[in-house]
Chain A
Amino acid sequence: MRSDTTDFPLKKTLINNFVEHGKDIFANNKESIIDIRNQAYTKFIEQGLPTQKLEAWRNTDLTAVYNEDYDHYYTQANVIKDIDSVFQCNIPHLNTTMIALLNGWYVYKDVPLKTMADGTIIGSFAEAMKVYPDIFDKYYAKYATSKDDGFIALNTAMAQDGFFIYVPDNVQVKKPIQIVNVIDYDKNIFLQTRNLIILGKNSELTLVHCDDSYNHQKCLCNTVSEIVQDENSYLDHYKMQNVNNNSTLINSSYFYMKNNARLTTNGMSLNGGILRNNKHITIDGEGCEANVYGLYLMDKKQHIDNNVFIDHAKPNSMSNELFKGIMDDTASGVFNGHVLVQRDAQKTNAFQRNKNILLTDKAKVNSKPFLEIYADDVKCSHGATVGQLDTEAMFYIRSRGISEDSAQMLLMYAFCDEIIQKITVEPLKIRLEDMVKKRLRGELSVCAQCVLHCSHPEKEFNFEIDLSKI
């Protein structure tokens, strides 16, 4: 075992936990899965936890996060029978099929895995791994390659649960599926979730994935999602992040697209201590379309790192990235956009834009576009701007009697609007319009929507805890 110069206590703990809690981690896993876990474990020991020495982590320092003490647990400590009591989705008129994760474990009312009327299977990742081994043999751990960074290997080795969605061929899922990721724990916690989403040929799905409703404890959350899109499938994907300033979210999504698949993935990061979003999209088909959008609004000492990699492996496909961010106070942001166009990927269209507004002298952003092009008949572009609000527009607005503060609000909102207008789910769009406006005014309390009401301790809340699981 090679000794790592960056031997954080957290790494040692995790390495030991793998051995000590092996029984729980491998529970109900068949041979092939255990093999995958063992290989990933070896990888993790080799790679360790990422530090700034790695190019892809150059601008994000997790040292303090690695040096914290966290609780870890490997059994499902609380099972909430009634998810509606945990999180009341208060987006008016948003009619979705809602599923929830609590502290990394799938929460269910009656069964951990359900087949809907249209044939869609939704439920616990752990349960699906047991019940559908063939699907897992085919798709699991095929796309989230451990060579990328230690967090992927760590997740593959040790993550036990998350959510699983399988949309059969030719099924257009009518209602959006909403996944709410809740963390409620009274001490610092380290947890990992693993998700697998499969879209069959010609299928359609809208997926709204929310990380929010946290208390004020520190958490380090390592999530890996693999999303496989078969031919001509369409995925409309939203990732909302609104977590407390003590949260570190490492969120890696691996998308794999076959011929004529279409993807729109829109990440809105409204609050969080350190948010690291890895988006890895493999376009392994012709006629594909991948739209990758992001909005990040950071203030105080928050930090966001959006790392996007798009691999055009086949010709005649297109990708389009637009990331916009506003940084206030001493917040910092990173955008790394790597587009790879392989030698045979002729007639690729790949566009990338990153726009940033800095509201203070101390706020900062590192924007690194990187186009790596080997084909010769392509259209590719990239652009990055870092600046202030448009002074011409400010004057125009103020010349109508609008105060400087209000004018600033209008322009900041206008900046965000481009990304918000990409939301196709109308009630969600309206909700985001409101949330972003509140966020810009500093009125968006992390706990506002959460039933846990940490900011209003006088309000009662109810949980049903299954003590037999503790």
Chain B
Amino acid sequence: MLLSIKNLHASINGKEILKGVNLEVNKGEVHAIMGPNGTGKSTLASVIAGRDVFEVTDGTILYKGKNLLALPVEARASEGIFLGFQYPVEIPGVSMTNFMRTAVNEQRKYKGLDPLPSGEFLRLMEEKKKMVEITAKLANRSVNEGFSGGEKKKNEIFQMAMLEPTLSILDETDSGLDIDALRIVANGVNKLRSPENATVVITHYQRLLDYIVPDFVHVLFEGKIVKSGGKELALELEEKGYEWIKETLI
């Protein structure tokens, strides 16, 4: 089992958002998490990644058998967790190249490896850019600065490609994307899928799941996963709406 979340409770500023989440993810699987706004989807993603504004008040997260909650943000990343942000931050003054080189090398250092030689690193950048169809010269551009919504999302997948994570959590990766960008992002994600890694796709709309076909679909509702199923569940949800879920819970 790659990821095992049991009875996870998390709050922000004293307000409880996650009220006992249970989730199990194995290698090679794609899970979709759907649910209405404000229900805790992004919170779940942030807590797994280690955002400290959220306080975990109960429950456990085991990742590769380890207690994930004991690890700081950067250690979780180096252990192979990647968060694709819903609203990627703009960081003027930090170049994309420098950012990626530092990330790649610090993760290598964590694993006891030497830093990647310059030439190899640049080749890696070029290779991964192609994968996500990024043609722009990223070298001197600052992280996400001046990027459109779609470009920012592509940039998330680019970083994912560079870092080759074991568990990717993509938070509303499709929000703000037109069909073309959606296709590119989904292609990128699909190319990176392997039996050795897993992806958790957080989404509102079923549309993305036409491109990134999930093995499991979960519905997160009022801080808990209330229903799980196969990919058909997403279609049923699309058809019947979240009201249907409410009804089935009564």
Are the CB atoms of B103 and A418 closer together than 8 Å? no
Are the CB atoms of A401 and B83 closer together than 8 Å? no
Q: Does A454 count as interface, using CB distance less than 8 angstroms?
A: no
A407 to B89, CA, bound (A): 14
Residues on the A chain within 8 Å of B103, using CB:
400-402
A402 to B72, CA, bound (A): 11
Stretch at the interface among B8-16, B93-101, B180-188, B214-222: B93-101
Q: Does A392 count as interface, using CB distance less than 8 angstroms?
A: yes
Are the CB atoms of B93 and A396 closer together than 8 Å? no
Best-buried of A401, A407, A411 by chain B (most CB within 10 Å): A401
Mask: chain B, 33-50; 1 = CB below 8 Å from A; 0 = not: 000000000000000011
Mask: chain A, 405-444; 1 = CB below 8 Å from B; 0 = not: 0110011011111100000000000000000000000000
A416 to B142, CA, bound (A): 14
Known pairs A395-B73, A406-B106, A411-B94; A401 contacts B78 (CB<8 A): yes
Q: Which of B49, B72, B76, B94 contacts A414 (CB 8 A)?
A: B94
Residues on the B chain within 8 Å of A397, using CB:
91, 94, 99
Q: Does A462 count as interface, using CB distance less than 8 angstroms?
A: no
Mask: chain A, 384-404; 1 = CB below 8 Å from B; 0 = not: 000000101101111111111
Known pairs A395-B51, A395-B73; A400 contacts B93 (CB<8 A): no
Best-buried of B76, B77, B89, B93 by chain A (most CB within 10 Å): B93
> Nearest Cβ in chain B — how far from A331, in angstroms?
21
Residues on the A chain within 8 Å of B76, using CB:
399
Residues on the A chain within 8 Å of B85, using CB:
396
Q: How large is the interface on A (under 10, 10 to 19, 20 to 34, 35 or more residues)?
A: 20 to 34
Q: Does B173 count as interface, using CB distance less than 8 angstroms?
A: no
Q: Does B74 count as interface, using CB distance less than 8 angstroms?
A: yes
Q: Does B190 count as interface, using CB distance less than 8 angstroms?
A: no
Q: From DSSP, what is the main secondary structure of chain A's interface residues? A: helix
Q: Which residue of B lies closest to A421 (CB)?
A: B93
Residues on the B chain within 8 Å of A403, using CB:
74, 106
Q: Does B229 count as interface, using CB distance less than 8 angstroms?
A: no
Q: Does B110 count as interface, using CB distance less than 8 angstroms?
A: yes
Q: Which residue of A lies closest to B83 (CB)?
A: A399
Are the CB atoms of B93 and A401 closer together than 8 Å? no
Top 3 nearest A-B pairs (CB, nearest first) are A414-B93, A417-B93, A401-B77
Residues of A within 8 A of B (CB): 390, 392-393, 395-404, 406-407, 410-411, 413-418
Cross-chain pairs A/B with CB under 8 angstroms, 26 sampled: A392-B89, A393-B91, A395-B51, A396-B88, A396-B89, A396-B91, A397-B91, A398-B74, A399-B74, A400-B74, A400-B77, A400-B103, A400-B163, A401-B78, A401-B107, A401-B163, A402-B77, A402-B102, A402-B103, A402-B106, A407-B74, A410-B94, A410-B99, A410-B102, A414-B91, A414-B92
